[in-house]
Amino acid sequence: MKPLSKELLVRPGAKFNLSEFDPADTHGVDKETAISQLQKNLDRLCVLQYLLYAEAQRTVLVVLQGIDAAGKDGTIRHVMSGLNPQGVRVTPFKVPEGAETRHDYLWRVHNAVPEFGQMGIFNRSHYEDVLVVRVHNLVPKSVWSKRYDQINDFERMLTENRVHIVKFLLYIDKDEQARRFRERLEDKTKRWKFSPADLKEREYWDDYMAAYEDVLHKCSTANAPWYVIPANKKWFRNLAVSQILCGEMEAMKMKYPKPLADLSAIKFE
């Protein structure tokens, strides 16, 4: 079996057809194996985050995108839960408000990139500015169509300045979204998550898929790749995200800083 990081990577410049992508795919892994492997990955992630924090030279930025109910919150809860909160900054991106509306669209995004040594997790991101904004014509096409290049430039600037970016699209199909909405309505502990606006957005499903396909085609780059995660099965989603993130962080070859003191010279009374 090829590693998931190879299977799920969107090759730079490739055309990506979401309708041909199976969101229930589990790449030959069964649930039991996935759950035990997930635990191992979470342990690895913990060590890698500690190393990132200790080194304090680079930032890891995880971008999570997906349609409503795709599992962005669940992924953060399950995959990032073992991390040291002191080294993690989660930023949810909502409809711009206040000062955000009085700046360019990347202003709030750049502001949310954490300092070196930290992990940043974006729950939605600047990609909303070519997704919801495009689907609902919130700005004219002449404006949003230029943003793919702007986003690539912005991400390149970050990666050239020690920000390691990993982007995940959590992909569920329309039936799975309906199932999750129904579950939200039936379960009184989940009802609060349901918004009538989510049903309205569902009517734009095809437009969203076309917008996602353009994002994948135009903005998966060697430095800031997109991975498309089959997310119908939450256990597979968690496995895939944790595995790919571990691989990306291992490839950074981080090192503990040299001790500040000359250890041989230290003597305790």
Tokens for 253, please give them.
């070859």
Give the DSSP H/E element, type plus range, for residue 90. strand 88-92
Residues present in the chain in total: 269
Pick between residue 128 and residue 173 the one whose CB is nearest to ligand AMP.
128
- Judging by beta carbons within 10 Å of its beta carbon (0-12, 13-18, 19+), is residue 106 exposed, middle or buried? middle
Cα–Cα distance between 48 and 55 in angstroms, integer? 10
User: From Mg ion, ligand AMP, none, which one binds at residue 94 (CB under 5 to 8 Å depending on kind)?
Assistant: ligand AMP
DSSP state of 257: P
Q: Which residue is nearest to Mg ion (CB)?
A: 68
Residues 70-99 that bind ligand AMP (CB under 6 A): 92-96
Q: Which does 248 bind (CB under 5 to 8 A by kind): Mg ion, ligand AMP, none?
A: none
Nearer to ligand AMP, 13 or 140 (CB): 140
The region of 81-89, 128-136, 169-177, 180-188 touching ligand AMP under the rule CB under 6 A is: 128-136
Q: Which residue is nearest to ligand AMP (CB)?
A: 128
Alpha-carbon distance 7 to 58, whole Å?
Answer: 27
Query: 176-215: which residues touch ligand AMP (CB under 6 A)?
Result: none
3-state secondary structure 93-143: CCCCCHHHHHCCCCHHHHHCCCCCCCEEEEECCHHHHHCHHHHCCCCCHHH
x/- track of binding to Mg ion for residues 83-112 (CB under 5 A): ------------------------------
Using a 10 angstrom Cβ sphere, with 0-12 exposed, 13-18 middle and 19 or more buried, the burial of residue 28 is exposed
Site string for ligand AMP, 20-49 (x = CB under 6 A): ------------------------------
Residue 106 makes contact with ligand AMP by CB under 6 A: no
Cβ at position 95, least distance to ligand AMP in Å: 4
Identify the CA nearest to 52 among candidates 94, 103, 86. 86
| Shortest Å distance, C-beta 220 to ligand AMP | 20
Residues engaged in binding ligand AMP (CB under 6 A) = 92-96, 124, 128-129, 132-133
Residues engaged in binding Mg ion (CB under 5 A) = 68
